[in-house]
Structure 1
Amino acid sequence: MQKLINSVQNYAWGSKTALTELYGIANPQQQPMAELWMGAHPKSSSRITTANGETVSLRDAIEKNKTAMLGEAVANRFGELPFLFKVLCAAQPLSIQVHPNKRNSEIGFAKENAAG
């Protein structure tokens, strides 16, 4: 098991205090901290500390040894961490977001185009 060092995404709708109160994440510039990302997303991967004390990107660590990091079944099926876990910290109400899979996206796109 590895302890993750996660990345904060700063968006205007984020809370300036929630991540500090929940997880002790410093916010000296008082920026809105909207999302805490836990995963290996190319835009902003979590980081881990290796056995020799080096801090590396989780994405890079997975890429170097997929089977050891993900397990054989996940490594074979996806080749990468197949999810991004987000802790949302909104200072104001948000709209509901749904991210369909590729097949459902294509079906929905076709329906919208057919409807004009």
Structure 2
Amino acid sequence: MPNVTLYIATEQMPATEKLIELSGDCIELCTRVLQAALKNVHVIYVEVRRGHGHPVFAEVQYRLETFRTPQVMNEFTEALDSAILRRIGLTARIRCFAYSTANIHARN
């Protein structure tokens, strides 16, 4: 963890090169700002048929840690918002969800 999932409207899905650049930004933000180990970062793109709302919905799931304060998460979401706009030119709705270690059951 963290897992960054970007749901992007099918008709606005950017070229692979742009997604690679955005993935790099997401990885850098997760490792630098959220202090996650590189091996624990996942970035996923999902094409969706949008019914209403922004062309991108970014969902970030992460482990709750004392150093991931509201200020840190604000820095992260602002930087993620900027990266999405800069790399693919779309406005995103961003939502972050923290999970305590006791509530995470995982494999691999």
Higher strand share: 2
Please give the TM-score of this superposition, normalised by the length of structure 2.
0.31
Higher helix share: 2
Q: Which has the higher contact order (CA 8 A, sep 6+)?
A: 2
Please give the TM-score of this superposition, normalised by the length of structure 1.
0.29
Larger Rg: 1
